[in-house]
Structure 1
Amino acid sequence: MTNRDRIHRRGSLWLNSVLVNYPSQAMPAAVVPYARERFNEALDRSAGKSLPVRLPDDEMALVPLTDDTVLPGPETWLDTRQNPRLLSTLVREAVFRQLRHIAETRGIYKVVGRKPPTVETLKDFGLVPAHLGLPPWLTKRVVITFETRIVELPGAGPTVVLTCVQRLRTIIGANCEELTAAGVGLIGSYVSQWAARPDPALDDRLEIAGRVVSVEGGVLTLADHAGGPDRIPATEAFLEPTRANFDSVVEELTQRRAERIIAEITRREADWRWGEVVQKRVERAFDFIRGAELWLARGVPLELGPLLGEGAPFPSAHQFPKPILSFDPGGRHSDAWAQRTLDKVGPYDRQTFEAKRLRIAVVCEASQRGRTSEVVAAFLEGMPDVRSSKGLVPHETGLVGRFRLQQASVEFFEVSAATGEAYADAARRAMSMAAERDQPWDLGILQVRREWKELPEASSPYWMAKATFLKRDVPTQALATEMMHLSAFEQACALANASLATYAKLGGKPWLLRTKGSTDHELVFGLGSSTRKTGRKGAGERVVGITTVFSSEGNYLLDAHTGAVPFQEYPACLTEVLRKAVTRVRDENAWRPRDSVRLVFHAFTQVRRETAEAVAQAVQDLGLDRVTFAFLHVAEDHPWTLLDLSARSGKCAFGPERGQAIELGEREWLVSLTGRQQVKADGQGIPAPVLLRLHGDSTFKDMLYLSRQVSDFACHSWRTFGPSRAPITLLYADEIAKQLAGLEQTAAWDRDAVTGRIMRKPWFL
C-alpha cells in the first residue's frame, strides 16, 4: 500500500468560514492606470462614495458605492468570477463599513482594525463575573476579526470565503495614578499610552511608552522609551495589559481571595475556547453579518452562502497517518510508537554509540541538593512503579536502560547563591576537576528555576553555566525545580522527554523516519530566525538563525549550517551552506550529474525572492542538471480554525485529529500537526493547524507530498515523544537561533565555540 493509498477523506470537518456567493451581475467601475499616490488619494478622499481596488497589469478600479458617485472615467463592468481578488476586497470593505456603522450608532464595540476588519466588544460576556468583586475596569473582552480568503472547492474552482476568528483581550482600564492609589506596584513594569491611528476610521490604540523606573509626584520616569518622553503623567499612563500584570493587579486588590478568583477566570476562559463553543460563536457572528444589508458596490448586494462544514461544499480533506519510525539500519524494527520500541529494542545506533558509560557533572543550589540528587537518580535509573490509569509507564528504565548505557558516574558541584557568576564558577570547578583527572565530562546537568527565564542572559545562572560547559564541548540538560514538585506521573513524563533529548545531545540517534524508496535524492532545509532586542521598543537587530539540513529520513546533517548572521547577509551564507551540504551528501552517496535531486525549504516567514535566487545560483554552480525546489512557508498566524464535528466527547470535543489536512488551493494546505489527543491542560483549547503556503518560484509543486512530509517531520522531534507544533526543520533552527542569541549575551561565551565538536551534535535540544 502506498502513502497516497493511506491518505483518505474525512467527513464531519468544519472550517470557521462561510461561502460568498458570486454576484449575479457585473461590478460597476472606472478602470484607470494604477499609481500609489492616486490610489491613496482615492482611499482617503472618497468619503465613502467609492472604493479603489488594485487590478493586475498596473491598473486600478474605482468602484462606486452610492448613486451620486462621480467616477474619474467612463463606467465599465467587471466580472468578479474572472477576478476573485476583486470580490474578496469588496467583501472585506463591505464588512468593515458595516462594523464601523454599528460601532458609531449602537456603541456595542469599537473598531480596531481595517485590514482585516476587527472589532473589540465593550462587554466581557461573563468571563469576569460580578460576584468575583473585581472593578469593572479589570476584565476580559472579545476581539472579533473577519478575513476574506480564496479557496478551491471541488468542482467549483476559486471561491471567496469569509472567515471569523475570536480571541480574548485582557483589559486593565485604570490609569497608573489609580493603580498606585490601590497599592499596585509599577516599578519595572511597562506602561502604555493611548495614541491616534493614521486611519481616522479606527479607534485609538494603546502603544508601549516605556518601562517604569520611578514614580514621584504623579509622574512616571521611564527607561526603554526609544525616543519618546522619559517622563509622563501617571494619569496618562496605563499598565501594559498582559496576563501576568492582570494577575498581579488581582492579587493586590483581593489578597487572600486572589488564587480562587484567578482560577475561576481561567476556568471560564478555558470553557470559552472549547470546540463546540467556538463553533456556536462563529455561527452567531455570521448570522449577524447576514442580518445586515451589505452592498459590494452601487446596486450589488453581498450575499453569503452556507458555512464550510457538514451539508455544505468543503475543500478536499485528507488524513495523514502517524509516520513509521525505524530503529535499526536494517529495517527489522519499525513502529509508530517511539517510546514502546525504544524500551523494547533500544535506539537506532545502539551498536555504534560510543559513550556507553557517562560521566556527569551536576550543578545545583546547596539548598536543593537532596531533591536534585533524587531526581537525577530517577532521570538515570527510571521510575518503574509510576504508571497511568491505563497502565502506561513513561519512564520505566530511565536514560541508562532505555538507551542501553552503562551505570553513570555522577559528581555534584553546589552553589551557595543562585547567581549567574556562582553557577559559572561551579561549572569552571567541574571543568578543572575533569582536566586534573584527564576524564572529560559527557554531560552537565543544571538545576534551574523557571523564574530565572525573566533574568537578563548576562546574569542568568542557566545561561552562564551553559555557556561555560558548551565552550568546552560539554552539552547540558536543565532540570527545573518546579518539575521536581510535580505529581509522580507528570514528573516521569518530563524525565522521559529529558532523557530522549539528552541522548541526542550526546550524539546518539534514537530513530529515523522510515521512507519509501524513491528515484529522487532529497534534502530538507529549515530556515529559522530570531530577533535580538535590548528592550521592548525599537526595531531591534534581526538575527537569522542557523539553517538546519535533513535527509528525507530525518537524518540531521549536523555540520551543514549557517552561523547566526544579520538578515542582509543571510542569502550569501545560505548559498555557502547549501553548496557544502549538497557536495557532502553527493560525494557520500555517489550522486551522478543526471540524478534527480529535490531541495525542500521550510520557513516560518515567507521566503524572500533574494533567498530563492541565491538557492538557484548555488545549485547552478554545483553542476546538477536535474534539480527541483520547493519553498514552503509554514505559517502559524492565519485566520483558520479546524473542527472535527464527529469528535463529540472527551477532553477536547470537536478538536481535530493529528494529521487531518485540508486542501485550500493549489498552493495552500491546512495541516493539524497536533490534535485533540495531545491536549493536556484544560486551558489549551482546540489545537490550531498550520497553514502551508508554496512559494511561486517553486519548481516542485506536489503539495500532497510536501504536506505529508511536514506532518511526518512534526512527529520526529528528539526533544519529546509526542508530536510537535511544527516540523523539526523549523523547531531545531529556531531553537539554535534563540540559544545562540542568549549565549552571546553572557561573558562566559566564546563565539569561536560554534566551530567546536559540540556544535556537530544537537546540543540545543
Structure 2
Amino acid sequence: MNLSSNIFSIDLSFDQFNIQRTVWSDGKLDELRKTHNQHYSFFKKGDHIYISPGEDNLPLLGEMVTINVEDEPLIISSLVRHIFFRAFKNQFPKIKPTFNPFTFPSSKEEHNLIVQELPDGLKTAISYKKLNEIDFKRSEINGKKKILLIISSSYKWALRQNCQKLQEQGFDITTLEVAKLIKYENSQEVVAPRFQAIGRVLSVNDAIATVETNEGNQDINLKDLFLNKTHDNIKLYLEFILGTSRAESILAAVKQKEFSRYDPNILNKEIAQLSRVISGLEYKNGDGFTFNISQNSSVAFPSLRLESPKYLFDVSSTKTDPSPIKGLAQFGPYDYGKFFEVSHPRVLVVCHKNSSGAFTQFLGRLKDGFNEAPTFTQGMVKLYRLHAIDFHFVEVESFDKKGFMAAIQQAVELPNKDFDIAIVETKEEFKRNSPAEDIYWLAKSYLLRHGITVQFIKEANARNPKFILDSCALQMYAKLGGTPWILPSSPNIAHELIIGIGSTLIRDNIYAGAQQHKVVGITTFFNADGKYIFSNRSKEVAYQDYFQELLTSLKGSIDTISNEQAWNDGEIVRIIFHVFKPMKDLEVDVVGELIAQYPQYEIKFAFVSFGEHHPYIIFDLDQRGISSRYSNYVKGKLTPARGTNLMLEPGICLLQLKGPEDVKTDRQGFTGPLLIRIHRRSTFTDATYIVQQVYRLTNISYRTFKPSQLPVTLFYASLITEQLNKLKAVDGWDASFIKSLRNRKWFI
C-alpha cells in the first residue's frame, strides 16, 4: 500500500527556546489581552502567563526563561497554535477564522454547494459552505515527542439574516430553535464569533421574542437572534420563500453534490492543496521561536501486524473457516446440538392482508432456501441445523394501532401457543410517529414483555428478499439465543472478561446551560472468544450518583460471572473495559474501587476508549477501487485495506475497519479509521494484544455477516441504549422485562 494521510509533521530545529512569562493573577490575562492583543499572544499554564510577541523588537512584558522542548509539550503546542494563527492572519487578513479549533470557510464558489441552485435574491442569504479545519495534536513517535497538524473539513449551513429580518419577511419563527452570536471581547477584529444555541421561541411580540431557555423564559431582541443553522430550519425557510416542491428540489441537488465532494480523490487533492499553502508560510515569533510544517503528509508511524480472524463453529475448536457464511454452511452453528435449546422454534407472523401472499412466500424461502439468493440456498432449517419451524400466521385488516395491537395480543394469549419469536410487518412511514404511537415500538414493547423477541420485515423486502434472507435468518437465530460462531481463542492461563460500558444522558435539550438530569448505564459482557455472556442495565439515577450505581451494577455482574466460570483464588484475571469516550480519572478510580473488592484474584485491567468522530484520515493512493457486481460504479477508491493501522503514540492507534470491499456504494463517501486509546492508568497495556482483540471483536455482531465499525462490546451497548430509550416512551414499558431474555440478542 502507498499510504497517505491528512496528518503533517511540525518540525523544530532546536532543543531549547526562550519565552517570556509573568506570574498569573486574577484578571491579569484579560488585562494583557485587552492592552496588547494586537501584537502579542498570551496563554496560561500553571501559575504563569506565557507571552509570545508577534514581531521582532517589541518591548518585554515579562521575564525571559529558557525551556527544554522535551519538558513542556503543552507550552510548545500552545506556542505553535498562536504563532500559526498570527502567520495565517498576516497572510490572509480578510479571512476571520475561529481559534480553537482553527476553522475558516472556503472562498471557492464550488465549495458553496447551494449557491448555483438559488435564485439571485437568496444567493447572499443562504450558504452551504465547506469549512476547513486545522487542528494540532501532541504525539510521541519512537520515544520522541512531536506536534502534528491535521487538516480536515466539513460542510456547514448558514442563514445570514437575523430574526428581525425574517419577521419583516413574514417568516414565523415561533417554535423554532434559535441562537445568539457570541463575540470575543478582546479579539473581535481577528477571531470569528461563534453561534450558541440558547432555546426555542415561544412567542413574538413586535421586536421581542420570548425564548424558552435553560435559565427560564427570556425576552430577547429579534435583531440579536438567529435561526439555528440546521438542515431542518433551512428547509423551512426555503419552503416559505420558494414553496415545498422547489425547496425539496434544491436540497436534493445539494445532497447529490455533497456525495461528490466527499469523493476520496477530491478529499485527498484538497488536503494536498491546503497543505502546500500553509507549509509555505513563515512561522516565527519575536523571541525567535520558529518551526516548519511539512508539505507532505506523514504516515511515519509504527504499525501493528494484525491477523485476520477465523471463525469457529464447534466447541472442540477443530471446525474453522475464514468466511462466516461458508463455515456456517459447512459445519452448522457453533452451538449446534445440546447447547442450543430452541431447535423447533414457534414463530408468530403478523402482516397486512394485502401483503399476505408476499409474506407466505417469504416464509417458505426463509425456511427452505431461495436459489436466487446465492448464500441462502439451504434455508434456515438446514443452515442452522433446526429440527423444524412452526409458523402461526395472522392477517390484519389495517395498520390502525388499536386493531393491529389487538391482533397481536389475541395471538399471544392463545392457549398452547408459547411463541419463541415473532415476524412483524413494518413500514418506513411508521418512523414519523413518536414511539408511543408507532406500531413498531408498541408491538416490540408488548412482545418483549411476554418474552418474545421480534424480527421486523418491510413488505418490499418480503417480496424481493434476495439480499436480506441470510442476514434475517442470522438475526433470528441470535434472537432465539443461538451463537452462530465465535472466534478461536489461544490457550491462556488468565481468565479474560471484556466489558462494554455505555451510558445515556437524559437531559431536557441541547441548549446552553442544559442540566444532565439523569443517566442510565448499559454494560455488555463477553468472553475472550467473543462469546456474548449477557448485558445489564443500571438504575436510572442522578448524574452525581452514576458512578456509585455503575460500581454496584458491575460488581453484581462480575460476581455472577466469576461463580459461573469458576474463577479460583490466586488465578490471573484480565478485565478489559471498552468505553465510548476517554475515561476521566474519576471513572477510573470507581473501577479501581471495584477491582479492590476482589483481592482473591490477581487482576490486571485496561480501559480502552473508541472514537468514530475525529479528524484523522488514511488514504491508500494505490487503491483504484473495486467494480460493483450489481452496477457500473467503482467503490472504495483510495480506501486502505481493512486492518490498516497507525500507532500515533504509545497506547493510541488508528485502525481502518472498512476496506474497499466493505464499501456498499460509491455514494457512501469515505469512511475513516477508528481511534483507539488505552488509558494511561491501565495495568494491562499490551497495545498489540488489545488492538488485535478489537479487530477480532468487529467480526461477531450477528447483525450481518460483514464486520462492524465498532467492537461488538460497544456495538451491542449502543443498540441496547438506543432501543431502551425508544421503549421507555411506550406506556407500560419496564426495562425489567428484558431480564428473562438474558442470553438472547433481542436488540440486534
C-alpha separation between the residues in 2 aligned to 1:244 and 1:349?
A: 52
After superposition, residues 89-100 of structure 1 pair within 5 angstroms as 89-100=78-89
The answer to which of 675-684 and 465-474 deviates more is 675-684
Partner of residue 308 from structure 2, selected from 322, 330, 335: 322
Distance 1:251 1:466 in 2: 38
Equivalent of residue 428 in structure 2, options 435, 443, 450: 450
Whole-angstrom CA distance in 1 between matches of 2:727 and 2:345:
25
Which residue identity is paired with 2:328?
Answer: L
Q: Which residue number in structure 2 is paired with residue 161 of structure 1?
A: 148
Deviation digits for residues 625-667 of structure 1, max 9, x if unmatched? 4211111111122221111122133312111221111011112
* Aligned: 1:345 with 2:331: yes
Equivalent in the alignment of 2:571? 595
3-state SS of 2:470 partner? helix
Are the aligned partners of 1:62 and 1:71 in contact in 2 as well (CA < 8 Å)? no
Which of these residues, 472, 494, 497, is aligned with residue 523 of structure 1?
A: 497
Matches of 2:171 and 2:367, distance apart in 1 = 45
Q: In the alignment, which of 95, 105, 119 is matched to residue 104 of structure 2?
A: 119
Identify if the C-alpha distance between structure 1 residues 44 and 466 changes in structure 2 by more than 3 Å, giving closer, same or farther: farther
Looking at structure 2, the residues matched to 522 and 44 of structure 1 have their Cα atoms a distance apart, in angstroms, of 57
Post-superposition offset of 1:252: 7.8
Task: Look up the match of 1:665.
Answer: 649
Residue 630 of structure 1 aligns with an amino acid whose one-letter code is A
Moved more, 520-529 or 21-30: 21-30
SS in 1 for 2:729: coil
**Equivalent position to 2:705, from 702, 706, 721:** 721
1:647-666 to structure 2, matched below 5 A, reads 647-650=623-626, 651-666=635-650
How many correspondences in the alignment? 730
Q: 1:230 to 1:304 in 2, by over 3 A?
A: same
Change (3 A) 1:716 1:126: same
Equivalent of 1:282, from 271, 291, 304? Answer: 271
Q: 1:713–1:568: structure 2 CA closer, same or farther, 3 Å change rule?
A: farther
Superposed CA deviations along residues 544-572 of structure 1, whole A, max 9, x for unmatched, are 33111111111112166644544433333
Which residue of the partner structure matches residue 265 of structure 1?
Answer: 254
Letter in 2 for 1:474: I
Within a 5 Å distance, the mapping from 1:379-398 to structure 2 comes to 379-386=366-373, 393-398=374-379
Instruction: Check the 8 A contact 1:656/1:686 in 2, yes or no.
Output: no
- d(CA) in 2 for partners of 1:745 and 1:481? 26
Q: Give 1:3's aligned residue.
A: none
Instruction: Choose the corresponding residue for 2:6, options 3, 16, 33.
Output: 16
Deviation at 1:263, TM superposition (A): 5.0
- In the TM superposition, residue 603 of structure 1 has moved relative to its aligned partner by 0.6
Indicate if the aligned counterparts of 2:133 and 2:152 stay in contact, CA closer than 8 A.
yes
Partner residue of 1:106 out of 84, 87, 94: 94
Within 5 Å, give how 1:335-484 maps onto structure 2.
Answer: 335-352=321-338, 353-365=340-352, 368-386=355-373, 393-405=374-386, 406-412=388-394, 414=396, 416-419=398-401, 421-433=402-414, 437-481=415-459, 483=461
Q: Counterparts of 2:200 and 2:458 in 1: how far apart (Å)?
A: 29
Alignment of 1:610-649 (within 5 A): 610-649=586-625
1:613 deviates by 1.9
Paired letter, 2:693: Q
Task: Return the offset for 1:159.
Answer: 1.6
- Contact between 1:363 and 1:447, CA under 8 Å: does it hold in 2? yes
Contact 1:172 1:246 in 2 (8 A): no
For residues 466 and 30 of structure 2, what CA distance do their matches in structure 1 show?
60
Is residue 118 of structure 2 the alignment partner of residue 140 of structure 1?
Answer: no
Supply the distance in 1 between the matched residues of 2:646 and 2:219 (Cα, whole angstroms).
50
Q: Please report the RMSD computed on the Cα atoms of aligned residues, expressed in angstroms.
A: 3.5
Q: % of aligned pairs identical?
A: 24
Provide the rounded CA distance (Å) in 2 between the counterparts of 1:462 and 1:186: 33
TM-score normalised to structure 2 length: 0.87
1:331 is aligned to 2:321: no
Residue 253 of structure 1 corresponds to which residue in structure 2?
Answer: 242
SS in 2 for 1:170: strand
Q: Distance in 2 between matches of 1:558 and 1:401?
A: 27
Counterpart Cα distance in 2 of 1:118 and 1:384: 54
Q: Secondary structure at the match of 2:745?
A: coil
Tell me how far apart the structure 1 counterparts of residues 243 and 343 of structure 2 sit (CA, whole Å): 55
What displacement does 1:196 show?
1.9
CA–CA separation in structure 2 for the residues paired with 1:456 and 1:182: 33
User: Quick one: distance in 2 between partners of 1:289 and 1:114?
Assistant: 16
**Counterpart-to-counterpart distance in 1, 2:223 and 2:456:** 41
What is the TM-score when the length of structure 1 is the normalising length? Answer: 0.86
Change (3 A) 1:682 1:330: same
Q: Could you say what secondary structure the match of 1:639 adopts? A: coil
Residues 649-658 or 616-625, more deviating:
616-625
Asked if the contact 2:524–2:713 (Cα under 8 Å) also holds between the matched residues in 1, the reply is yes
Structure 1, unpaired ranges of 5+: 1-10, 387-392
Question: Which AA in structure 1 matches 2:714?
Answer: L
> Are the counterparts in 2 of residues 209 and 228 from structure 1 also a CA contact under 8 Å?
no
Give the Cα–Cα distance (whole angstroms) in 2 for the partners of residues 572 and 500 of structure 1.
38
1:491-534 Cα shifts (integer Å, max 9, x gaps) = 43334223222211111111111121122221111111223345
The CA distance in 1 between the partners of 2:167 and 2:659, in whole Å, is 44
Instruction: Give, in angstroms, the shift of residue 736 of structure 1.
Output: 1.5
Q: C-alpha distance in 2, partners of 1:527/1:143?
A: 34
Offset at 1:220? 7.7
Give the Cα–Cα distance (whole angstroms) in 2 for the partners of residues 404 and 247 of structure 1.
54
Distance in 1 between residues matched to 2:364 and 2:592, nearest whole Å: 52
Aligned to 1:152: 140
Q: Secondary structure of 1:504's partner?
A: helix
Partner amino acid, structure 2, of 1:557: I
Q: Which of 635, 660, 681 is the aligned partner of 1:697?
A: 681
Structure 2: segments with no counterpart, 5+ residues: 627-634
Q: Does 1:496 align with 2:470?
A: yes
